[in-house]
Chain A
C-alpha cells in the first residue's frame, strides 16, 4: 500500500494552533460552519490532495457525512483517521472518573459495559477487548469511507510508550489490520524510542508520523537522532509540523523535509486556497528534484 505524498491535516478546523490562542479562536469561529470546512477541503482536493488525515473529533462525523453523501464528487477520496481526539476523554475522566468515562465511550449493551456496571474488575484486565471496542467506537463515523491507514494519536502512543504498556501497541496494530484491513500508523513525539519498542514487538516497517522540521521543534531525542533514524531504520516516516507552526519559511521548511531520504508523506494543514496550492506545489517541486 502506498501513501500519497501529500496529506491534508485538520488542526486548523478545530482550534488547534501551536503559535497563538487568538488565531486558534479565530479559526474555531470561521470553521464552526461545516460549509467553511468543506470549502477548504475542496480547495485541497482541487490542488490534488486526496487524503484527509483527521482526528476523531465529534465534528469529523459531519465531514464524513458530507463525503458519503457526495461520493460521486470525490471518487478517489480517503481518510486517515487518528484516534482518539484525546480531550474528549481527558475532560470526561476529569468530570466522571476513569471507569465512568470508559463506560461513556463503550457500547452500552455490551458485555464489557455490563461488567463495568457490576463493578467487576476490567474483564480479567481484558485490555484487548476494551481497546478493540474503543477503536470500533472511534471508527463508527467513517463507515462506508475508505480508511487505508488508521493512526493512534501521539498522546496515546506516547502515554502507552512511557507507561511501558507495549503490548497495547501490538493490539492496535492487529485490530486495525484484521478488522479494517488497514495499515496501522503511530503518531509520536518520540521517534527513536518508539521505533525501539515497535522493533521489539516485531512490528515490521511501521508507519510512523512525527514532527520533522528543520529547527528540531518537538523532535524528542534530538534532530540528529531523527535524521539518523530516517536514513537508517526500517520504517515509513510521515512528516508533520514541517513548518513548525510557521517558525520556518515554507520553502526552507519543505526543502529540509524533501532532502531527508525515505520520508513517504508530508501532512500539512492550511485554511486558504492559495496557501494550500502553493504548499502542495512546493512539495511537488522539491520532491521531483531531490536535493543534493
Chain B
C-alpha cells in the first residue's frame, strides 16, 4: 500500500482484515504515521515508494496518495507487473490515463479505481433497473453531492490545494460524475459549468454543470461540499425516462414505473422502494459501509481469477476524469474562483471545538 492518509488507513484496515491478502508493507512520507503503524500495528513501513517497490516482492499495490501522485506511482507499479487498485480520481491528465490503460492491458494486469458507490446496493439496483430499459428512454439525469467539508475560510491539506487534485470537483463531484456514467451513461459534452469558492480561495467548493447526451437527453450536476446541513457526504442520483423515474442514494432506491415491464417482473406499476437492509450484500469485514469492503474483495477476486475487464477499470474511471476535464475547460480559469460576493466575510467566527468541549 502506498498513501496512509484518511482513505489509506481505511483501505489498510480492510485489506489487513481480508483473509486472502497478506499486506506486505505500507508506504507514506509522513514519519509519525509510519512510526505509529510499525510500532503499534506491526506493519513494515517505507518512506520511499521506489525503495518499497525495489525491495519487496509484491503481487498488487493499493494507491491512496494525493491525486497528483497517482499516475507516476501506478505506472511504476504496472511496469513491475503489479495489479493496481488506485483511489479516485484516477488521474488529473487524461493522457496519463490512456498510457496507463494501454500499459495495464499490454501486461494483462488487474486495474481498478476506488469508485465505491458502484458497490452500494441502492446504486447497483438503480443501474440494474435503468439498464433493463424499464424506465423507458432516458431524457434527464441529475446527480447531487453535498457535505460539510469546507465550512470556513481555511484549510491546509492537499484536498484544498490547487494542482494537487484538491477541491470539490476532484473530491466530491467525480463521485457524482462516475455515478452518472454508471447509471445513465457517459455524457458527450458539458455546458454552463460553474466552479465557485464559497470559503476556499484556491479551489472550488461548489460545482454545477449541465450534461448533454447524443440524441438530446440532458443532465445536471450539483455539488457543494460547504453545506453544514449535511452530517456527512450525501450523494443522490435521479433518472427520468419515458416510463418512469428512479432516485437512489446510499440508503434507498425509489422507483416509479408508469407501466410494468417484462424485463423486471419484480418491480410493479407505481412506486417500489428498496432499502439498504434488503440490498446490501454481506461482507467479511465491515468498517464504514459494505461498499468499501466489497470493492477490495472484488479486486482480490479479480487478481485471483485474472479478470481485467471488471467494474471500475481504469478505462471506466478515465471516463469520469474526462468529464472533469470538460467541466474544467468549460467552467473558466482558476482565477475565476473567488468567494461569492463577500460571503466569507459575513461568516461568524469559527465555533471553536475546544470551547465547545471544555466550556
Give the interface of A toward B (CB within 8 A). 14-21, 24, 28, 58, 61, 87-88, 90-100, 104-105, 107-108, 121-122, 125, 127, 137, 140-141, 155, 158-159, 161-165, 167-168, 189-190, 193, 215-222, 244-247
Also in contact, A105 and B353, with CB within 8 A (given A19-B252, A121-B31, A162-B13) = yes
Also in contact, A108 and B16, with CB within 8 A (given A98-B33, A125-B40) = no
Say whether B251 contacts A158, CB under 8 Å.
no
Say whether B284 contacts A221, CB under 8 Å.
yes
Q: Chain B's nearest CB lies how many Å from the CB of A13?
A: 12
Which residue of the partner chain A has the closest CB to B38?
Answer: A125
Say whether B282 contacts A95, CB under 8 Å.
no
Q: Give every chain A residue within 8 A of B290 (Cβ-Cβ).
A: 218
Partner of B356, one of A61, A87, A95, A221: A61
Say whether B251 contacts A163, CB under 8 Å.
no
Which residue of the partner chain B has the closest CB to A220?
Answer: B286
Also in contact, A163 and B232, with CB within 8 A (given A104-B353, A193-B17, A244-B277) = no
Partner of A193, one of B33, B249, B285, B353: B285
A41 to B214, CA, bound (A): 56
Also in contact, A137 and B357, with CB within 8 A (given A155-B288, A163-B12, A189-B286) = yes
Say whether B275 contacts A125, CB under 8 Å.
no
Q: List 24 A-B contacts (CB under 8 A).
A: A15-B231, A20-B275, A21-B236, A90-B6, A90-B232, A94-B149, A97-B157, A98-B33, A125-B32, A125-B40, A127-B40, A137-B358, A155-B288, A158-B286, A161-B13, A162-B17, A162-B285, A163-B43, A167-B40, A168-B40, A189-B287, A193-B17, A218-B286, A220-B285
Say whether B282 contacts A216, CB under 8 Å.
yes
Q: Mark B10-25, 1 if CB is under 8 A from A, else 0.
A: 1011101100000000
Q: Does B302 contact A (CB under 8 A)?
A: no
Say whether A104 contacts B280, CB under 8 Å.
no
Q: Give every chain A residue within 8 A of B14 (Cβ-Cβ).
A: 162
Q: Give every chain A residue within 8 A of B157 (Cβ-Cβ).
A: 94-97
Which 3 pairs of residues, A with B, have the shortest CB-CB distance?
A: A162-B13, A189-B286, A247-B277
Q: Give every chain B residue within 8 A of A190 (Cβ-Cβ).
A: 17, 285-286
Also in contact, A164 and B42, with CB within 8 A (given A97-B157, A121-B31) = yes
A107 to B32, CA, bound (A): 20
Q: Chain A's nearest CB lies how many Å from the CB of B348?
A: 16
Q: Give every chain A residue within 8 A of B250 (Cβ-Cβ).
A: 21
Total residue contacts A-B, CB cutoff 8 A: 151
Partner of B36, one of A14, A122, A220, A245: A122
Q: Chain A's nearest CB lies how many Å from the CB of B319?
A: 26
Give the interface of B toward A (CB within 8 A). 5-6, 9-10, 12-14, 16-17, 30-33, 35-37, 39-43, 148-151, 154-157, 159-160, 231-232, 234, 236, 249-252, 275-278, 280, 282-288, 290, 353-354, 356-359
Say whether A94 contacts B6, CB under 8 Å.
yes
Q: Give every chain B residue within 8 A of A99 (Cβ-Cβ).
A: 32
Also in contact, A165 and B40, with CB within 8 A (given A94-B6, A217-B280) = yes
A21 to B235, CA, bound (A): 10
Q: Give every chain B residue within 8 A of A158 (Cβ-Cβ).
A: 13, 285-287
Q: Give every chain B residue within 8 A of A21 (Cβ-Cβ).
A: 234, 236, 249-252
Say whether B41 contacts A164, CB under 8 Å.
yes
Partner of B156, one of A20, A96, A161, A247: A96
A105 to B354, CA, bound (A): 7
Q: Give every chain A residue within 8 A of B16 (Cβ-Cβ).
A: 162-164
Q: Give every chain A residue within 8 A of B41 (Cβ-Cβ).
A: 163-165
Which residue of the partner chain A has the closest CB to B159?
Answer: A94
Q: Give every chain B residue within 8 A of A91 (Cβ-Cβ).
A: 148-149, 232
Also in contact, A20 and B148, with CB within 8 A (given A162-B16, A189-B286, A220-B286) = no
Q: A17-B251, A159-B287 are in contact. List 16 more A-B contacts (CB 8 A).
A: A18-B276, A21-B234, A21-B236, A87-B232, A91-B232, A95-B157, A97-B156, A99-B32, A127-B40, A140-B357, A140-B359, A158-B286, A165-B40, A165-B41, A168-B40, A222-B282
Q: Give every chain A residue within 8 A of B35 (Cβ-Cβ).
A: 121-122, 125
Q: Chain A's nearest CB lies how many Å from the CB of B1?
A: 11
Which residue of the partner chain B has the closest CB to A99?
Answer: B32
Also in contact, A159 and B40, with CB within 8 A (given A94-B159, A97-B157) = no
Q: Give every chain A residue within 8 A of B39 (Cβ-Cβ).
A: 125
Q: Chain B's nearest CB lies how many Å from the CB of A91?
A: 6
Q: Give every chain B residue within 8 A of A93 (Cβ-Cβ).
A: 6
Which residue of the partner chain A has the closest CB to B351?
Answer: A58
Residue of B33, B36, B150, B231 contacting most chain A CB atoms (<10 Å): B231
Residue of B35, B249, B285, B359 contacting most chain A CB atoms (<10 Å): B285
Q: Chain B's nearest CB lies how many Å from the CB of A155?
A: 6
Q: Give every chain B residue within 8 A of A18 (Cβ-Cβ).
A: 251, 276-277
Q: Give every chain B residue within 8 A of A107 (Cβ-Cβ).
A: 354, 358
